[in-house]
Structure 1
Amino acid sequence: MAKRVQLVLTQDIIKLGKSGDLVEVAPGYARNYLIPRSLATRATPGILKQVERRRELERQRQLEFKQQAQEQKAALEKVESFKIAKQAGEGEAIFGTVTSQDVADVIQQTTGLEVDRRGITIPDIGQLGTYEAEIKLYADVTATVNIQVVAS
């Protein structure tokens, strides 16, 4: 049986890897498909150094993102609660609902931080009161903030 060939991908390939990944494939797959279509190049010592340098830069960039997310978490948790005014009826029931966009808007107005509404998890809010919302800022950085729904 022929030995496998090491290649560095130049484009993302589904079920094989992302651009810059070092992969081992069958020699025929490399010779007949990946290399002629410029989807991969042979792994030489120089190219392996470039790949390693790119990985290190990406790791540092991700570390910066995580650090920024932790700073945002500290700033968000420093605020005691965010107030959202909604029209209320009998029995402290509110008309409509509080959405993640409402929470993102009030955070923007209060702290000046932009938070992606898709990362906000709120419980079903149907009445006036105080609720906790979780805001995912990064893969493993989540801030918990208090949302106070008041009558307008």
Structure 2
Amino acid sequence: MASSTALSLSWSSSPCWSHSFNGGTNETLKVSERRFNFEVVSQKKAKKLRKVILKEDVTDLGKQGQLLDVKAGFFRNFLLPTGKAQLMTPLLLKELKMEDERIEAEKQRVKEEAQQLAMVFQTVGAFKVKRKGGKGKLIFGSVTAQDLVDIIKSQLQKDIDKRLVSLPEIRETGEYIAELKLHPDVTARVKINERIEREKRVASCGED
């Protein structure tokens, strides 16, 4: 009957397993040092990085509000003491998400208000503008963006920035179309009815 062989395993000071067999010689089997070293180095590199959010623009790094992975030493020695970045935490990440949601909700509100105002302009018809003029259809001067926003203010009690107004050159009577860029995604089309204002208003009671 074959005699049994006892096997004992022990961890030596070097990264290897030492196998001792009774009645035989010691045999050493080394673990793959390359794989072991790679895992250790990878863990060290991961620990040396910090996820931060920039509190202001940093040259050659990123823009304010940007999330970045930076070396721990760079954050500790430069970004943190100069107040240029803040360490990202679960609580801060939650706060940033809530702020993003608030901003998106505000953007949507502004867009909806612009859409509602554009619908108002569609229902009011043409804004009548009167200018003094001579014979025929020619008027003195021209209708400006400021003229239009003043009329809108007086009739609708709405404040419109004249820089949002785009209108054709108006130097004679007739109907024209002006565009109001109320929002990047909303443009209102406004009708302008240009008429000549006569000197004797009393004699023209029948005029609209």
Is 1:121 equivalent to 2:163 in the alignment? no
Q: Which amino acid in the other structure matches residue 80 of structure 1?
A: G
Aligned equivalents of 2:138 and 2:78: distance in 1? 63
TM-score w.r.t. length of structure 2: 0.63
Q: Percent of counterpart pairs with the same letter?
A: 30
Is 1:40 equivalent to 2:90 in the alignment? no
- The SS at the match of 1:130 is strand
Change over 3 Å in CA distance of 1:33–1:142 after alignment to 2: farther
Aligned equivalents of 2:81 and 2:74: distance in 1? 10
**1:137 maps to which residue?**
182
Larger relative contact order (CA 8 Å, sep ≥ 6): 1
Contact map agreement 1:85 1:150 (CA 8 A) in 2 = yes
Q: Deviations over 1:99-133 (max 9, x none)?
A: 11111011111111111111111011121111100
Is 1:101 equivalent to 2:146 in the alignment? yes
Change over 3 Å in CA distance of 1:33–1:120 after alignment to 2: farther
Structure ID, larger Rg? 2
Contact map agreement 1:88 1:128 (CA 8 A) in 2 = no
Give the total of aligned pairs.
148
Aligned equivalents of 1:103 and 1:124: distance in 2? 13
Change over 3 Å in CA distance of 1:29–1:121 after alignment to 2: farther
Is 1:67 equivalent to 2:102 in the alignment? no
Change over 3 Å in CA distance of 1:22–1:127 after alignment to 2: same
Q: Deviations over 1:14-55 (max 9, x none)?
A: 88334xx23326537655554322132111111111111100
- The SS at the match of 2:63 is coil
Aligned equivalents of 1:29 and 1:130: distance in 2? 65
Structure 1 runs not aligned, ≥5 long: none
